[in-house]
């Protein structure tokens, strides 16, 4: 029983399979840095409050520093028998400095300790992911700025609707990712409170100073209820919810990259670095990276549902079920960070076929709405104008003509209000640049949004 720091109550050793089944060290070892960081702050507080001696605290802190170096250098042997990262570090500390190492756990429990470790870890990951999001947004802005003159078809129902700037289309994703970044900032604020000091569930009898520890660790405050502090995993669920929405946005962009890079669209070409070939068809260039990110979206959705299901029936306070929170959370973090990294690099290396986009924008009567707007400015009610343009389009379909190819006489058979200035209205450039209101696709509006986005992105 010497391996178990909690073994005093037990007279028989843990079943070997149960030991392996219940251990979390296989995955929670990634928390080592945060476990040590929290332990050092806790130890200094214990000494500051006179709960342990300053010489004892110095020995503990020095031992923890040595353990940190061992782990970082790959010299630390993690033990399943010691269950988790907390017990592995504490047992090694006692091995190194003797029984005084056991004083580190005064006035805390693994329940509030793990809640602290995960919050510290997730706080750093949230900051890194927010920075990665900003990098992806900058890559999109760079592509938008480099292709301000490229006109493409805008779609509804995947049918040609109206011409838009390619840059305007990319800015739609910049907006989506801005909302994602905002959600991440919001959840970080709720995440950033200290649970340490809640003990196992009821607090502690020792005169600890939670607010001092919170200040040392960069928290905005402390949790206000010990039961909630050790049983709360809202922050992990909220992160996975944020991640699910972010991955949905990435998946939408991935779908468009897959479509646009196909031979039927040929709007873009992905760098060879982000594609693979076929084992049987030598001509193939498959967009594997966007496809895989699209697929990983379902994985992140599953992690969110897993956490929600895990927590839905747990009574207060801590339950062993909650050990299952880490793998979905860790997997979500790894998936999001990997997806953002590969997308940023892929977007930066994207090749754009502006000619092909313009050709597609000229099909499908994409400037039909501009004729309706033209007639409205001539005094015709919009509903009547809509009918006139509908008949005009039907005529074009029947005769195999495009709208710009019609003669003035052909236009005027549908409305006598149409005059020679109609031809300046139905060009792609005129259609795009007529939409100058904030958020529109006119070049000036798009340039303004690019400039605004660059200023507002997190540094």
Residues classed as catalytic: 157, 278
Cα separation, 154 vs 169, in Å, equals 8
Cα separation, 262 vs 417, in Å, equals 43
Q: Find the helix or strand (DSSP H, E) in which 161 lies.
A: strand 159-165
Cα separation, 333 vs 438, in Å, equals 35
Q: Answer for the pair 194, 214: CB distance below 8 angstroms, yes or no.
A: yes
Cα separation, 2 vs 315, in Å, equals 32
Cβ count within 10 A of residue 95 = 11
3-state helix, strand, coil in the chain (%, to 5): 65, 5, 30
Q: Which value, in Å, is the radius of gyration of the alpha carbons in the chain?
A: 31
Of the candidates 417, 435, 436, 430, which has an alpha carbon nearest to the alpha carbon of residue 367? 430
Cα separation, 219 vs 189, in Å, equals 9
Q: Supply 300's token pair.
A: 């992140």
Q: Supply 113's token pair.
A: 């300790």
Q: Answer for the pair 347, 170: CB distance below 8 angstroms, yes or no.
A: no
Q: Supply 17's token pair.
A: 């399979």
Q: Answer for the pair 200, 230: CB distance below 8 angstroms, yes or no.
A: yes
Residues forming beta bridges with residue 352, ordered by sequence position: 268
Q: What are phi and psi of 41, to 5 degrees?
A: -65, -45
In 15-165, alpha helices (H):
16-22, 25-28, 32-48, 54-72, 85-97, 110-146
| Angle in degrees, CA 130, 133, 138, rounded to 5 | 130
């Amino acid at each position: 029983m010497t391996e178990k720091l909690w073994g005093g109550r037990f007279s028989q050793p843990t079943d070997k399979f149960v030991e392996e089944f219940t251990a979390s060290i296989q995955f929670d070892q990634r928390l080592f840095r945060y476990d040590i960081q929290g332990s050092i702050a806790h130890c200094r507080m214990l000494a500051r409050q006179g709960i342990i001696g300053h010489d004892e605290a110095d020995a503990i802190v020095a031992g923890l520093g040595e353990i940190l170096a061992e782990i970082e250098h790959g010299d630390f042997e993690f033990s399943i028998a010691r269950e988790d990262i907390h017990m592995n570090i504490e047992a090694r500390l006692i091995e190194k400095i003797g029984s005084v190492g056991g004083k580190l756990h005064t006035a805390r429990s693994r329940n509030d300790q793990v809640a602290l470790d995960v919050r510290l870890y997730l706080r750093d990951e949230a900051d890194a992911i927010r920075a990665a999001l900003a990098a992806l947004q900058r890559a999109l802005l760079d592509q938008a700025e480099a292709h301000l003159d490229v006109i493409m078809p805008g779609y509804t129902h995947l049918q040609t609707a109206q011409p838009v700037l390619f840059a305007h289309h990319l800015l739609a994703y910049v907006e989506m990712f801005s909302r994602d970044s905002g959600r991440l900032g919001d959840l970080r604020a709720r995440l950033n409170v200290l649970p340490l000091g809640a003990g196992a569930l009821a607090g502690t009898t020792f005169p600890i100073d939670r607010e001092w520890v919170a200040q040392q660790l960069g928290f905005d405050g402390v949790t206000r209820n010990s039961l909630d502090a050790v049983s709360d995993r809202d922050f992990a669920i909220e992160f996975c919810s944020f991640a699910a929405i972010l991955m949905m946005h990435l998946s939408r962009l991935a779908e468009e990259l897959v479509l646009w890079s196909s031979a039927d669209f040929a709007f873009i070409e992905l760098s060879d670095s982000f594609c693979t070939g076929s084992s049987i068809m030598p001509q193939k260039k498959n967009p594997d990276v966007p496809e895989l990110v699209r697929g990983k979206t379902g994985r992140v959705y599953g992690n969110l549902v897993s956490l929600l299901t895990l927590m839905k029936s747990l009574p207060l306070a801590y339950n062993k079920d909650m050990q299952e929170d880490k793998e979905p959370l860790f997997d979500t973090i790894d998936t999001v960070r990997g997806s953002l990294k590969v997308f940023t690099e892929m977007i930066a290396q994207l090749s754009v076929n502006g000619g092909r986009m313009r050709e597609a924008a000229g099909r499908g009567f994409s400037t039909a709405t501009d004729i309706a707007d033209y007639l409205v400015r001539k005094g015709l009610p919009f509903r009547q104008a809509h009918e006139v343009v509908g008949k005009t389009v039907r005529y074009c379909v029947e005769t195999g003509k495009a709208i710009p190819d019609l003669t003035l006489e052909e236009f005027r058979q549908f409305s006598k209000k149409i005059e020679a200035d109609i031809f300046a209205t139905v060009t792609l450039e005129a259609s795009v640049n007529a939409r100058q209101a904030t958020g529109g696709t006119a070049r000036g509006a798009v340039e303004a949004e690019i400039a605004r986005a660059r200023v507002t992105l997190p540094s």
